[in-house]
Every structure is written in structure tokens, then in C-alpha cells.
Structure 1
Amino acid sequence: MTGKTSLLFDLDGTMLDTDPLHIAAFQRLLADYDRSITEDYYMTKIMGASIDAIMADLFPDLPKPERLALGERKEKFFRESLTGPLEPKAGLIDLVHWVKDNDLGICVVTNAPRENAEKMLGGLGIIHLMDHILIGDELPNAKPDPYPYLEGMRRLGVERESAVAFEDSAPGIRSASGAGIYTFGMRGALDDAVLRQNGASDVISDFTDDRLWAKLRGAAAGSTYSPA
């Protein structure tokens, strides 16, 4: 890698495990319509998608303003479940501090609403360490379009050769890899084969993986961090 290496992170499912909370929020919303979703539906239709796209799929016959109102209601249910300090993926906090200690760039690229993103990052105690927080619905195109990651690199002032991304969903991996970024697929709801099929350069379980540190080693001269 050349230049000032920067790391770009998805949020939900990547920095912390929120899938069960999102599923519960959707079930709570859909209960009023005598409907529910399966885990398979969540993984294939919802995971990583923008709330606008999700609601259009769930309620195709409703006018857009009504779909947006339902989406806002679901996100309110989700935020209500974010209580107390949140549990990060293993190694995340050490990695974020390593990035800042070595004067590297860091950016969150998410399809989550800003209110959700700020509450999650605040609950993790790292919101003040982010250089940028990019929200899909605030950009011309959200994931799976490459635009959010291209914009993230532009704001960080780096080329794709100096960027590393982390994603757990198919739309997110397609977005990051489509921008030409070396992308770590995060094991979780999707297995290794699906992550790689969607463009993951490598697959890791969390941020303590030796393969991640092999990729980052040497990016910042003089680092004192020694991963477990």
C-alpha cells in the first residue's frame, strides 16, 4: 500500500452485531400488519440495503411518503433497543486507536440513518475519532453503488491503493469492491463463499485476525501496537 493508508468501515454488523436488533424492530413494525420476516428474507432483502429500498420492497403498493413514515418508525424501534454501552466487534477499539495514534484516516460508510449511526458510534465511545461519517441517504447514490466509498476516499484524500474497507453485507461488499478497494468481508450472517462471491478480497471474523494486521503492518512506521 502506498500513501497515507485509510480505513473505511461499514457500521451495522461490521463494527458491532446489530442484526438481531434490526430483525426485532422489523417484526415489531410488521406485527401491526399481521406480517413477519424470516431470517433468510432479512439476509437477502434487508441486510445492507437502504431503508428506502427496504420499505419499497416490503410495501410496494404504498405511496412513498407512507413508506418513509413506516421506515422512520422502524428506525425509532431500533434506536430504542440501543441501551447503555454497546459491545464492539473484537479488536475494533484497539484498531481505531491504532489508526488515530498513527495519524491514518478513518471513515464510516453506512446506509443507516444518521441518527442511528451517531447513536451506535456514541454507544461504542468512538464517534469523536471518526474523520467522516457518510450516510447513504445523504448521498446521490447509496450502497450497493460504489459512490459512497468513492466519496469516502475523496474526503480522506486517498486513492484506492491506500484504502482498506470492512463490510459484512452483499450490497456493502459490492459497493466497496466496486470502488476498487481491498475489502475484508466480515463473517456473520453470510458465509465465506457468499462474501467472496460478492467481491470480498479476504474474509475475517473480527479485528484481531492476523491477516488483517499482515495487510496493515508497515502502513504506519513506528507503531507500538502489537495485536494479540
Structure 2
Amino acid sequence: MGIDALVFDFDGLLVDTETASLRVWQHLWRGHGLELDVSTFFAPHGGDVIAQRYAGLAAAVGPSFDQEASHASRLAYRDEVHATLELAAGIAGWLDEARDLGLRLAVASSSHRDWVVGHLARVGYLDRFELLACGDEVGTVKPDPAVYLLALDRLGVRAERALAFEDTVHGVVAARAAGLRCVAIPHPHADPAAFTAAERVLTSAAEVSLASLLGLD
């Protein structure tokens, strides 16, 4: 492929915080005797949707809804769930291969830097990435390509010499708009058939070695 750098999305790709988020919000809704509509849960963009999610829960609960208490409950349960999260299947192996192959590694995420840093530090892989480009450093989030363009600028690498990895359709759109080829590993609640713009769609990083994916074996 002629690749010098790999640029990874974070949420749902390196660590499955997407499923964790769904689990946390389902827990919150069930605490009110309600079921969350999973079909509308995941936003078609990388922006912050917390306010909208609370608004939806408030409308479902009615006048008795206490957002302050619900927020405290959500954060407590979220911390409990997040403490169990590790790198997604196969990712650790890919990072080891990338190191051995001399490939540069970066993260391009719509999430804030402290979120990405906190999780990667907790699982012990923060130092594997040369740099991070995050949502609080750009004016627009995915599907806008800004965060990928920032990552490429910081790497000093041309788009055609980098390969992106994404778990959402809007992430693939962002990577392609920045000029990168992109491999998709859809998170468990995404439709793999929707990833038509991806170079390749995998079920997980454990499906194939990185060297094979890059055509190096």
C-alpha cells in the first residue's frame, strides 16, 4: 500500500465506548421503568449529543424527571462500566505489528482530548501513539474532515501515505474527505452494508494481521 502512518478513530474503534455508552443510557432509562429506542441512539456525526439524550429521557419520564440526580447516576454507572473496557479485539496485535514495521501512529477523534488520553492511559497504550488530534482542537467534527487534516498536518504526512481506521459511516466520510483511504471495523450497532466508501470492511482487527492488510506478508 505504500503507507507511512496509520490514523485511528478512538470511540468504538480502539475502545468500544459506543456499546458502553448504549449500556449506560439503557441503565438510566430502565431505572425509570422505560426502554431506550436503540434505533435512534447513535448520532450520524461525531458531536456531543448528551443534551439531546437528556431531553429525550426528560420527555419520556415527564415532570418528575430530576436531571441532576440522573446525571450523577449516569456518571457513577459509566465509571463502573468504563473500568472494565480494554482495547478492542485484535487492536493490541496491530499496534505491536505497526511498531515492528516502523509505522507512525496517530488518533483522529471527535471526542475531547482528555477523554481520549484518559482511556488510552488507563489501558496502557497512550505512549504507542505519536500524536492525537481531537474534537476540541477543531471547529467541526466528523463527518467534516477537519480532525483528519489536523492529524495529517501534525504528522507531516501526505494523505496518500496514511491509512485511516473507522467504526462509523460518518468517520469514513471524514477520512475520505481528507484524502485518506479508510478501513472500516463497524461497531456492533452499525450496519456493515452502509460502509460503501471504505477500502475494506472487517468484523474486527483480529480478522487479519496488519501486515496482511497492508499487503506486506
Pairwise same-fold verdict (TM > 0.5):
yes
* Cα-to-partner distance string for 1:77-122 (whole Å, 9 max, x where unaligned): 53442215x3322221121122223332111111223332123212
| CA deviations over 1:162-215 (Å, ceiling 9, x no partner) | 11111111221111111121111113322221122xx21210122233485334
Determine the structure 2 residue equivalent to 1:126.
125
Match of 1:203 among 193, 198, 201: 201
Deviation (angstroms), 1:147: 0.8
Alignment of structure 1 residues 59-74 onto 2, 5 Å: 59=55
Contact 1:185 1:201 (C-alpha < 8 Å) held by counterparts? yes
Range with greater deviation from structure 2 (159-168 or 22-31)? 22-31
Look up the match of 1:192: 192
Distance in 1 of aligned mates of 2:130 and 2:151: 10
Give the conservation status (yes or no) of the 8 Å contact 2:105–2:130: yes
The change in CA–CA distance for 1:99 and 1:82 in structure 2 (over 3 A counts) is same
The equivalent of 2:214 in structure 1 is 216
Gap change, CA 1:102 and 1:159, over 3 Å in 2: same
Instruction: Give 2:195's aligned amino acid.
Output: L
Work out the CA distance in 1 between the residues paired with 2:78 and 2:182.
Answer: 27
Alpha-carbon distance between aligned partners in 2 of 1:134 and 1:205, rounded to the nearest angstrom: 25
Kindly tell me: are residues 132 and 75 of structure 1, through their superposed partners in 2, closer, same or farther at Cα, counting changes over 3 Å? farther
Q: 2:77, 2:118 → 1: CA distance?
A: 13
Q: Report if the CA contact (8 A) 2:12-2:19 is conserved.
A: no
RMSD between aligned alpha carbons?
3.1
Q: Partner of 1:158 in structure 2?
A: 157
TM-score (norm 2): 0.77
Q: Please state whether the residue corresponding to 2:212 is helix, strand or coil.
A: helix
2:147 is matched with 148
- Quickly say closer, same or farther: Cα 1:75–1:130, change in 2 above 3 A: farther
Query: For 1:35-114, what aligned pairs fall within 5 Å after superposition?
Result: 37-43=36-42, 45=43, 49-51=46-48, 53=49, 55-56=51-52, 59=55, 78-84=78-84, 86-114=85-113
1:7: which partner in 2? 6
Which secondary structure state, in structure 2, belongs to the residue aligned with residue 208 of structure 1? Answer: helix
Give secondary structure in 2 for the equivalent of 1:165. Answer: strand
Contact 1:79–1:119 at 8 Å: present in 2 too? Answer: no
Deviation (angstroms), 1:11: 1.3
Matched AA of 1:83? A
Structure 2: segments with no counterpart, 5+ residues: 57-67
Q: 1:57 to 1:144 in 2, by over 3 A?
A: farther
- Percent of paired sites with the same residue: 25
Letter in 2 for 1:202: R
Q: Aligned partners of 1:20, 1:92: CA distance in 2, in Å?
A: 17
Runs of 5+ in structure 1 lacking a partner? Answer: 61-68, 219-225
